[in-house]
A = this chain, B = another copy of it.
Amino acid sequence: MVESVKNLSEKLSERGIRPSYQRIKVLEYLVQNRCHPTVDQIFNHLIKEIPTLSKSTIYNTVNLFIESDLLKPIGIEDNEVRYDIDTSDHGHFKCESCGKIFDFAIDIENLTTEDLKGFRINDKSVYFKGICPECLKNKKDNKKI
């Protein structure tokens, strides 16, 4: 389950990315924390291990990973970008109460329309917003009081 540093390093090399210490650590974090983190979350976690780390490095790295199709930016938030190491097709649900982002399966491939005949489609995103079951439950509980 846990991917070794060697595997992570190889994964980067395969894509023509030199496996620096910082890059491996960022990739390791992304693989182990599949919560669609922000740059800040990645930075604040890794600074504990790498005291000299710069936030610029996180920005450089995630942008490099995106260039290489190793990472996908999730634009579901208004103010900051989140990142998804799972680049396979799936939808994202954001709970407007707790802020958590959930994956869900959806047939994006077959999501098509007559109106886009003649368009070249490179990327499809599906974003839902609402309230997650846990937050719905908490609301109900509060009402009881």
Can you show 19 pairs from A to B with CB atoms below 8 A apart? A75-B127, A78-B81, A91-B113, A93-B116, A93-B119, A96-B122, A105-B113, A106-B113, A118-B136, A119-B130, A119-B131, A120-B130, A121-B129, A122-B129, A122-B130, A124-B128, A125-B126, A126-B126, A127-B127
Q: Is A59 an interface residue (CB 8 A)?
A: no
Given contact pairs A76-B75, A78-B75, A116 touches B104 in the complex (Cβ within 8 A) = yes
Q: Is A51 an interface residue (CB 8 A)?
A: no
CB-based nearest B residue for A73: B78
Q: How many residues of A contact B (CB 8 A)?
A: 35
Question: Are the CB atoms of B128 and A121 closer together than 8 Å?
Answer: yes
Q: Which of A93-145 contact B (CB under 8 A)?
A: 93, 96, 102-106, 111, 113-116, 118-133, 136
Question: Are the CB atoms of B115 and A103 closer together than 8 Å?
Answer: yes
Q: Which residues of B contact A123 (CB under 8 A)?
A: 128-130
Residue A121 contacts which of B105, B120, B121, B130 (CB distance < 8 angstroms)?
A: B130
Question: In the bound complex, how far is the Cα of B125 from the Cα of A127, in angstroms?
Answer: 5
